[in-house]
Structure 1
Amino acid sequence: MAVRAGRSPRAGALSSAPALVVTLLLGVLLLLLPPSAPAAGATDGAQAGPEAVELVRFTGEGCPKCAEQSAWLAEQAPRFPGLVVVEHEVWADAQGRALFVRTGEELGFEASSVPTTVLGERVWIGWTDAIAEDLAAALDRAVAGRSVQPGVYGTPGAGTCSQEALACESGAGAVVDVPLLGEVDLGARSLLVSTLVIGFVDGVNPCSLWAISVLLTIVVRTASRRRVVAVGGTFLLVTAGMYALYMAGIYSALSVATHLAAVQAVVAVVAGVVGVVSVKDYVAFKRGISFTIPDAAKPGLYKRMRAAAGQDRLGPALLATAALGVAVSLLETPCTAGFPVLWTGLLQQAGVPAGEAAALFGAYMVPFLLDEIVVVAVAVGTMRALRLQEHHGQVLKLFAGITMLALAGVIVVAPDIMEKPLQALAVFAAASVLTGLVHVVATAVRRRRAVAPEATPVG
């Protein structure tokens, strides 16, 4: 691994007359010599070797995190043959600072924190264990001649250093114990709070609640708690698996996009459209464009539910329930389109790698399934199923729509807010308060219209 500061000077050309004479004589002698035999093991084509890769570092003099990264690169040098590290000091060097700012404008990151590392169009802000792991994987790809996905990984304040105090943020965040997954360390730029709240809001959508409540209404008639637990649990597992595939597909689609600004715009537009339609459903439920399970599809679902619950043996009943779960997941896709796009867009914006995204998805599913787990638990305990009324579905639509519109606005104006727990909670709290106000005002208006005497015609 070669290390150089800034641009290496060009080698000077020979300009003296004696040097020119010597060069000409050597050229004549080489022409007169017979061609040499190929070396053993040589082939007609050039031997493929490691790619020459340039890694650009923006650092500050005396920055401890920069020194840690330098030591890591020196230690890893044998692993990355052909790697050239170009370092620009930005605290004391005006030219380096100007280049830092230009690079930030070109690649879409805030040029304010060191160390910042650039490989092609991939940017790492700060230096943490997670960044080291991600950088190593990217260097492996680059040295092997494979493309490296563009994007910005990390944010100021996580594993970065301050010029004034030479103090560094460790980047270590809370370690969260996620059920079934164990401890997840998500760092100072944690999206955990946003993930949990988005998962909860996504989970209280009327489509999934309607499906599970109708299914349990049919199953509890068998008077078998064992069957209620088995059928309800199977339905939840299948729909969760379908949702995992759905979100993985969105994440993969966004991963191949090369322009983060375009991804951000698409995510905001999709969320905005879904949010507007959801709010419309509160005012004019199922009139016009509506992201709900179509009424025409419900007789078929009722038939599948009765078939699943009416099986004499539990095995066929569970297979029928699994098939029902797949069918319901496909039909309710419009109901759940907005939040998965929003959430995966936030992950891409923050440069979250696949491993951390998988852990966050596990955290997402806990609140996402919470309301349905409660519905199943109530059915098991009381042998009665909760039923979702239409006006409940309208309020849920309003809440989801306003929340989605708020998140779409945040993504456009200041996406970093969603990585800061208190600010993310403030966004959701504001959406909840606005939902309550709108519902209270709308309810008062509807009641006034219902009791108002009809106007007497004049004349």
Structure 2
Amino acid sequence: MKNKKITIFLISIVALLTFFFLTKNLSVNILDNLGLNLPLPLFTIIIALIDGFNPCNLFVLTLLLSLMLTESHSRKKIYLVGFSFIIVIYLFYFLFMATWLNIFKYIGFIDPLRIGIAIIAITAGIINCKELFYYRKGITLMVQDKHVGPLKRKIQHVAKLINKGSTLTLIGASIVLAIFASLVELPCTAGFPIIYTGVLTGVILENSLFYYLYLALYNLIYVLPLIIIISLLGYIFHGKQISKRTMSLIKYIGGFIMLLLGIILLINPSLLGV
């Protein structure tokens, strides 16, 4: 396992150096001629989908799902809890991104802001990549240990309400859980939304409404993996929590992509259309 990690590290370094060289020397015209310049809708879908496979969200949802399946086999109640949870997650992150959008548009996509976002992306990317080699050690953007206990207790409370609580009580508890989980997960999940919102700010759109439509699309794609998991009633994970190895690998992949986006924003932002 150690040799595999060393191999991954060395390949990643070579890939980063190659990417840095290409990014520095590529121009938008070259990409256009090759047909490789991503349109904004496709860029939105790709980044949101990558962001959607977030280990923190998957950890909370699979834990919630596993406890629900032990308490009840009622699909109706499981769907009720699951989709209430997802709707709140969607609204929370839409408002979070809309707030950043308005802040960035007020300031303007000036060079200091672009460089700041790039530094955040590169820093967060390095920290997330670190999880593959030193899981939850040192500085981490994973859910903090001090929050895991309260989070599990809230999830257990919701799971117990499946058999005993009324429908309204169950929905209310699911909403409270989703808000608490969103706040706890924020350091873990904020990277891509801030990067994407910064890029979106730098793109000139005909109507201000289009910015919010892109945010709506982003967040719809973002919750898509959660919707699929709930729709399949947890059969993918068979009622088990996502493993540490899987979480660290997902973190590494997400972190590596953050690094790439940070490099582009830092040395050649025109490749992203900003």
Question: Residues 196 and 297 of structure 1: is their aligned pair in 2 closer, same or farther, counting only changes over 3 Å?
Answer: same
Equivalent residue in structure 2 for 1:396, among 246, 250, 256: 250
Shift of 1:190: 3.6
Structure 1 position 320 matched with structure 2 position 173: yes
Report which structure shows greater RCO (CA 8 Å, sep ≥6).
Answer: 2
Query: Partners of 1:378 and 1:241 in 2: how far apart?
Result: 23
1:198 alignment counterpart: 47
Does residue 379 in structure 1 map to residue 233 in structure 2? yes
Alignment of 1:364 onto 2:221 = no
Change (3 A) 1:258 1:364: closer
Structure 2 equivalent of residue 333 of structure 1: 186
AA aligned to 1:237 is I
Q: Secondary structure at the match of 2:136?
A: coil
* 1:279 to 2:129 alignment: yes
Question: Does the C-alpha gap of structure 1 residues 382 and 297 become closer, same or farther in structure 2, counting only changes over 3 Å?
Answer: closer
* Residue deviations 1:165-221 (CA, integer Å, cap 9, x gap): xxxxxxxxxxxxxxxxxxxxxxx9841111111101111111000000001111122
Deviation of 1:223 (Å): 1.4
**Aligned runs of 1:114-153 on 2, under 5 Å?**
none
Correspondence for 2:115? 265
1:13-32, aligned counterparts within 5 Å? none
Change (3 A) 1:209 1:217: same
Q: 1:372 to 1:315 in 2, by over 3 A?
A: same
Distance 1:281 1:359, change over 3 A: same
Q: What CA distance in whole angstroms lies between the structure 1 residues aligned with 2:149 and 2:188?
A: 19
The alpha-carbon distance between structure 1 residues 344 and 350, as it changes in their structure 2 partners (threshold 3 A), is same
Residue segments in structure 2 that go unaligned for 5+ positions in a row: 1-27, 30-36
SS in 2 for 1:283: coil
Q: Give the C-alpha shift of residue 414 in structure 1.
A: 2.3
2:66 is aligned with 1:217: yes
Name the CA shift for 1:419/1:386 in 2 (closer, same or farther; >3 Å): farther
- Residue in structure 1 matched with residue 157 of structure 2 by the alignment: 307
Contact kept? 2:109, 2:202, Cα under 8 Å: no
- Cα separation, partners in 2 of 1:259 and 1:227, compared to 1, 3 Å: closer
Aligned equivalents of 2:239 and 2:155: distance in 1? Answer: 14
Q: Relative to structure 1, is the Cα distance of residues 216 and 251 closer, same or farther in structure 2, using a 3 angstrom cutoff?
A: same
**Percent of counterpart pairs with the same letter?**
23
Indicate which of 187, 195, 198 corresponds to 1:342. Answer: 195
Rounded Cα–Cα distance in structure 1 between residues aligned with 2:108 and 2:43: 25
Partner AA of 2:91 in structure 1: G
The answer to whether the aligner puts 1:228 opposite 2:78 as a matched pair is yes
Distance, in Å, in 2 between the alignment partners of 1:239 and 1:343 is 18
Query: Once superposed, what is the RMSD of the aligned Cα atoms?
Result: 2.2
Summarize deviations over 1:296-355 as a string: whole Å, max 9, x none: 211111111111121222220110110000000000001112111110111112234531
SS class of match (2:232): helix
Separation in 2, partners of 1:320, 1:293? 21
Change (3 A) 1:199 1:319: same
Q: 1:249 aligns with which of 99, 114, 126?
A: 99
List gaps (5 residues or longer) in structure 1.
1-154, 157-187, 421-459
The one-letter amino acid paired with 1:223 is H
Asked whether the 8 Å contact 1:228–1:380 carries over to 2, the reply is no
Q: What do the CA deviations read for 1:13-58 (whole angstroms, capped 9, x no partner)?
A: xxxxxxxxxxxxxxxxxxxxxxxxxxxxxxxxxxxxxxxxxxxxxx
Partners in 2 of 1:405 and 1:414 — Cα distance?
14
Q: CA-to-partner distance for each residue in 1:135-157, whole Å, 9 max, x for gaps?
A: xxxxxxxxxxxxxxxxxxxx99x
- Change in 2 beyond 3 A, CA 1:338/1:363: same
Moved over 6 A (4+): 380-383
Alpha-carbon distance in structure 1 between the residues aligned to 2:96 and 2:133:
29
Larger helix proportion of the pair: 2
Residue 301 to residue 261, structure 1, CA distance change in 2 (3 Å): same
CA contact (8 A) 2:229 2:236 kept: no
Equivalent position of 2:4 in the other structure: none
Q: Provide TM-score, normalisation by structure 1.
A: 0.49
Whichever residue aligns with residue 414 of structure 1, its letter is N
Question: In the alignment, what sits opposite 2:57?
Answer: 208
Distance 1:189 1:199, change over 3 A: closer
Which residue in the other structure is 1:52 paired with? Answer: none
Work out the CA distance in 1 between the residues paired with 2:134 and 2:120.
Answer: 21
In structure 2, distance between residues paired with 1:238 and 1:214: 17
Residue 295 (1) aligns with residue 145 (2) = yes
Residues 411, 229 of structure 1: CA spacing in aligned structure 2 closer, same or farther, 3 A cutoff? same
Q: Distance in 2 between matches of 1:264 and 1:380?
A: 40
